[in-house]
Structures are given as C-alpha cells and as structure tokens.
Structure 1
C-alpha cells in the first residue's frame, strides 16, 4: 500500500526512460534553438553597426543611404507578399488608407528620423559612444510613458534613470573621441525612439494590431519612413550634389563615389556600381536584422531579447575598443558599468512587474469573458510569464515598429 501511494505521489511515469529522454531532448532543442537565434541576431545586429560605420566614413551621404535601404526593404516586402499570394492563394493583410494614416504614419515618420539621425552620427562619433548614447532611449521611453500616464511614478524608475544618466555622463566625461554634433544626433535619435515606442503603446491600448508579421509591417511602414526622411535627405545631401553637378559635372560625379581607404584600395572605385552594390548589401543586412530579431522574440520572449540586447552592447563595445581603435579611460569604463547596471535593473523590474500582473490575473480573474480572454503561459526556456491576447496573434505594433527601427541602426 505504501509503495502504491509513493509511486502515485511521485508520478512514476516521469521516471520512465522514454519519457525522460523525450523531455530532455525537448529541453536541449529549446536551448540550442535559443542560442542559435541569439547568435544569428548578434551576427546581423552587430554586423550592420560596424558595416554602416565603415561605409558612411567613406560615403558621406548617410541619409541617402538610409532612404535607399528603406526602398529596398519595401520592394523585398512587396516581393515576398506577392510570392506568398501566388503560392498560398491567400492575400496578406492590407490596411485601409484611413487606418494606415491613423496607426502607421506617426510611428513610421518617427522611426525614419530615428534611423536617419543614428546613421548620420556615424560620420562624427565612434561606435562605443554611439552604442552607449543610443542605450539612453530607455530614459526617454520612461519619460514619455510618465507623460502619457502609461507608467506609474515610482522611486525605482527614478533610480534607474539616474544610474543610466550618471553612467552616460561618466562615459563621455573628458573622452578624447567625444564629438558634440554626433552625440546630439544620437541623443535625438534616442528621444525619437522613446517617443515612437510610447506612441505605439498608446495606440495599442485602444485596439490590437493585425500586423503580426514583419513582412506586413515593413510593407506598411516603409512608405511612411521614406516620406519622413526623404525631405531631409534631399535638402541636406541631394540638393547640394545637384547644384554642384550643374556647375562642375565631372567633379560632382567623383564626389558621390565611394572614398577608398588603406584597407580597400584594391577595390575598383572608378564607377558608381561598387557604391550601389554596397548600399544593397546594407539594405539586405537591415532586412535580415529585422527578421532575426523578430524570430528571437517569437520563439523566446521579450526578456530573452532584452538580456541579449545587453550582452550585445557589451560585445559591441569590446569589439569597438579592441578592433576598431575606440579609446576608453578608467572613468569612461566605470560609466559604462554604471550605465549597464541601470539597463539591467530596468529589465529585471519589468520581469517583476510581469510576474505581479500574472499573479493578479490568476488570483482575481479565474474566469474571463470569452472576447477578452487572456492566456498566461510560462515559457520553458526563460521561465518568465508572457501574455497572449487571443484576438490578435500576440505580436503588437509596438514591438514590430521597434524591430523595424533597430533594423538599420
């Protein structure tokens, strides 16, 4: 009798060799898949940062480059939507003009300026300063969230913002490679990123988005991004080239060719084709970057993405200092550590909030109305609660527009 109840209590099936191996294989598969997705995300995310820095230092038209990226991404999204319709016989979702203007226009324009200013800053500052300054978007996200009543005022938020601000100040203090124009450009990009994120969250509180796939999001978002950035690209970069071309055509043509350096003098720079090809490579990298981040978010969780982002910044800074010639004093290094501590605390506070919301839902709302049903599930690989809104395929316009903006930064 004792043996019977002991087996029943311990659930003897769990110790079955076949079941145990199946469970172990599943865990190993999830771990390997997560590591693989993170590595792919690092490859494209870090790769495009260093690639754009290298390219823009030789081709001094960053806004034109970004507009070209957006055009290529829109054409690729259109191509994949067309292929999907032909093969599957089902059309992808297309928003009405009214819905497009109401939901996509402002996040799209803000995203375009965010990306444009970020790439523009590569002309002036180092990758390490860019990476650290861009991480301050958390401060602006929290500031706009408080402004729009999306976050409650808490002492922990003030502490996080203070840590990141102090860390950034120490990182830039008496830096030999500090450049004010580039710093202000990245800081403006961070502010626009915070505004875009908060605006998207505000919109999502009214109605869930049907744009759950990055292809659909890129298809609808890119035209607004082109519209938002093209006037700046035309006024600051294209118009001076046109005016100069009307006066001295030959010199102007040489001016828009890629400038060779000591490491790439063997390339042929006697035509515009190398420049066009390198812009195309950057466009494809940006496209793949968005996909890798989307896949990581889909198969893991926002916690995995946030933690991967922290280690990505550390790895980027390591590469910038050791292989790109960036300089960092002891004060700058301490500032880096303080800033990363603040970012990590922000992520962990979000995890705690998620658990608290999940517990309150399960305790106070055991039965929900069918139309407002919320499923709370525990992810095997992160052990963190994530929420699925069953009305809309789970992925919000806020997450997708954030992925879209990161794709070219």
Structure 2
C-alpha cells in the first residue's frame, strides 16, 4: 500500500461485532480472564495494553516503516523513555538546537541520574566526530530542528553512529513520515510528539517511539512504557488515529502555504532573516532536496527590531493566533525565547510560525498588514 492508503486504513479494522467502520472506543481499564486464568483476547490491564493503543501503534509503525511502535502520553514521555532505556555512565551526543523540553530532560533529569551528554552542532560532522566517546550509545537530533530549522544529513549521521556501535535517533515530528523517512535513510529509532501533525487539531496530547527493528532496546522501551505507566488514554489514541487519516492531505497543504509565506517574508523589508529549508539560501537546502519530499509547514523568522517589536508585531495579527505548539489546522505564532526561558540562545526577535490550513492569501495579507502598519 502507498502511504496515503496506509494512513487511512492501518489500525482501522471493521468492528467484527457491529460492522462499524469508525473504530470503537475501549475505555475499560481491565479485561476479563478465563476460568483457567488465561487472557485469550490479549489484554489484561490498560496500562499494559489497550485495543485503541494497539491500533495506533500498528498504524505508526506502518507509516514510518518500522517493526514496532510504542505510544506514550506525551512527546516528552516518549523522548524520556528512549534515554531511560540507557544505563548510568552511558554517553549521548545531542544536537545543540533542540526542542527546549528535550534539553531539560537531558540536563536537569538524566545528567544528575548519571547519563553523560555532549551538546554539539550535529550538522557539522567534524564536531560530531570530535564528540564521540567509547561509551557513546545514542546520537540524537531533530531535522528540521526547533526553532532554527537546521538540517541534519540523516544518512551520514546514521553511518557515523553505526560505525561506533551507537543508535541514530531522529525526532521526525515536524516533517512526519509523509515528508521524511528517517528509518529508510539509516536511522534506528524515530520519535514523535503525536500532539502535533498526527493529531492535527490541537486537542490531544501524545508521543511515540518507532523502531526499525524489534530488538532488546525496543523491548526495554516497551517495558518502561508498561511499568512506568506514561501511557496515552484510549480516547487520546482514538483521536490521534483519526487525525492520521487526513495527515497526507494536510501536510501537502501546510507545506505549500509555508513555502509561499517563506518566500514572501524573505523579500519583506521589515524582516531580518527567514529560516525555511525550502529557500535556496538556506544552508541545508541541498540536503533537504535529498531527504524530504516537501519542505514542511514550519518556519521561523526574525523581525527587524528587538523583542518588543517582535511581540508588538504578533499583537497586530488578526488571523494568526499567539500560542504555543504547532501542527494544528490553525496558524500559530510564538516568541520562542520567552517560552524557552533565561537559558535560551534563540534570538530575541525570532518568531516561530506553524502555518495552518487557512487560505494562504488571507495569511499573507495578515502578515503584510502586521509588518507594515506599525502602531
């Protein structure tokens, strides 16, 4: 099956009891045991497994091309469990430009626990090579990165990881498997915040880990999910699975609109800099042409001016909403440095923009008016 067909049908079996086409919702926390003590229907307790979670995990694995998927209650829970599957004194190489929540996990929770972490620019392969230690177990990155949209060459980083016996782990939340296929490019594990494009409607929290193979490391992540209990509720799984059915057409629309907006902003006199890999002047443009089918619905840009001007600009927008998160049907804009906190290295005049599904002409008008009609 092509991916458009998989997105609609994987995990969506016709209900054998009623013939319902839409997936039934199984809210039960516990499941009946047979008189001989067995569980022939496969479920014991919903922390361990649930029919809705099983369906979602089947779909996620199929979309990414992995042997197995593990669903979590949030994207950070998914990321946390990948690193928790390591041992104290193991070493991780992580990208400098990461979602700030991932950096918090590594610095504030797992380094005190005993994990060793080196933050480097993984787009610079010489820096990456220089950070390798004998105990390096994971090379972790996002591409495009959050919020500067840096592009990492997945194939080359995977080759380095495998040469030293480490795992290549890629956060594929922004492109989704519709636009980028990390496992096919050599990555071992993909992580997602399913809150974002998979859910697609800003109404459900979730995360996932997808592994190319069901090996001992995958089994350990599964154990941590089941015993640690950071599992999504059945209804959350149901919502994400429903959202995935429109993922392909949404990603196409997000990408086309974002590309048009990036080109507009790149020429606007009141914009200092645009970060979007579809632009020919982006330093990762040539790599993106090799590993992404479109350029995605996310971009960042710097207003000419300071933090106050950037915030004032967002206050003049009428359609685009000021809010955290991304990947929903509505366009969202956010001043990243103030969200990331005092340790943020993000420029004070930078805004991150999640381009939604509104008519692109309306979005361009909203941006133009806010950029030119200063109060």
TM-score (norm 1): 0.23
Q: Which has the higher strand share?
A: 2
TM-score (norm 2): 0.25
Q: Which is bigger in relative contact order (C-alpha 8 A, separation at least 6)? A: 1
